[in-house]
Amino acid sequence: MLPAEVMSFLAVGPGMRVVDGTLGGGGHTRLLAEAVGPEGLVVAIDRDPEAIDRGAREMAGLPVRFAQANYCDLPEVLDALAIESVDAVLLDVGFSSDQLADDSRGFSFTSDGPLDLRFDTTEGEPAWRLVNRMKPESLADIIYEYGEERYSRRIARRIAAVREREPIRSASDFARLVASAIPRQSSPSRIHPATRTFQALRIAVNQELKSLRIALERIPTRLVSGGRCAVISFHSLEDRLVKDAFRNRQLWECLTRAPIEASPGEVARNSRSRSAKLRAARRVS
C-alpha cells in the first residue's frame, strides 16, 4: 500500500533500525529490509501469529526480527530485543489481504466461515459471539460510533430479530442480513452495504482505536531525534487520531499537510487502496 510514498517519507537508508508495526503480508517489511541492508535491522510486529510465521519463512536471510505483539506494545518489543531507539516507525493500520482471503477469519462478505474478525484468534471475543449476546441498543452504538453507519438502529433491530430464530455465525449470512436492513438506493454502488458494519465490529473486537491511540503516545519515546513515523489509515476515525497526534509541535514536525492518497494506477491494481490515507511526521528534539 503506497510503497513509493512510504519509502520516500520514511527516508530509510543503510544501517538504520526501523519498526514495521503491522507486518501483514510483508510487502512493506521487505522494502524496508532491502533499504536498511545487512548492517541495519527491521523489527516486524503483528498480532496475527500466521502473519509472523509466514513472514519468518518468506523473509529468511533478510535483516528482520519478528515479534507477535500489538504495535502499541512497541517499547516492550524493543526492550526484549535490547534496542533503545529506532530511526523510523511504520504503521499500516487495518487488516491484510491474507486475512481477507482466509475464509476461517470472516473478513470477507462472501466467506462461509465464522464471523470472527479477530487479528489474533487466540485472544478476545469473536464478532459472531458479540452480535449474538449484546443488547440491540449497544450493538447500534458500536455500529454507529465505529462504522459511522446512519442505519445502525435498523441494522441492530434486524440482527436481534434474526438471532431469535437462529444464532448468527457465518460472515456471508451476516453480510446479507445487514444488506437487507439498508435501503438499496442509500448505499453507494462502489462499496458493499455491510462495509461500515463489518468495520465497526472489527474495530470493536480488536480494540483498534485504543491500540492506535496508545501507540501514537508511545512511539515518540523510542524514536531518535529526527526519526520519522508514517501511518496509513483507512477511515476517518483512525485518520483523525493520527492527524491530532502529529499536530503536537513539541513532539512532531508534520511532513504531510494533507493525507497522501493512492494514485489512480495503484487503485486500479488494488481496489482496497482507494481509502488509504498516509500521514508522516519527523520527531523533534
Calculate the dihedral angle through the C-alpha atoms of 264, 269, 274, 277, rounding to the nearest 10 degrees.
-90
For residue 258, which amino acid is it? A
pLDDT of 187 over the 60 cut? no
8 A C-beta contact, residue 23 and residue 55:
yes
Alpha helices in 41-112 (DSSP H): 49-58, 74-80, 97-101
Q: Which has the minimum average pLDDT: 34-38, 105-109, 132-136, 238-242?
A: 105-109
Residue 271 reports pLDDT greater than 90: no
pLDDT category of residue 186 using cuts at 50, 70 and 90: low
pLDDT of residue 50: 93
- Higher-confidence position of 191 and 22: 22
- At which residue does the C-alpha cell 497526534 appear? 245
Each residue's pLDDT tens digit, 194-224: 999 999 999 999 999 999 999 999 999 999 9
Q: What is the pLDDT averaged over residues 171-191? A: 84
pLDDT at position 273 is 85
Instruction: Kindly report, residue by residue over 67-99, the tens digit of the pLDDT.
Output: 999 999 999 999 999 999 999 999 999 888 888
- The pLDDT of 140-148, averaged and rounded, is 97
As a whole number of angstroms, the distance between CA 246 and CA 244 comes to: 6
Answer whether 0.75 is exceeded by the pTM: yes
**Average pLDDT for 110-126:** 94
- The helix or strand, by DSSP H or E, that contains position 167, with its residue range, turns out to be none
Domains of the chain: 3-92+208-283 (3.40.50.150), 100-206 (1.10.150.170)
Specify the pLDDT at position 188.
54
What is the chain's mean pLDDT, rounded? 95
pLDDT tens, residue by residue, 145-176: 999 999 999 999 999 999 999 999 999 999 99
Other Cβ atoms less than 10 A from the Cβ of 235: the count is: 19
Give the pLDDT of residue 59: 97
pLDDT at 252 over 60: yes
pLDDT at 96: 83
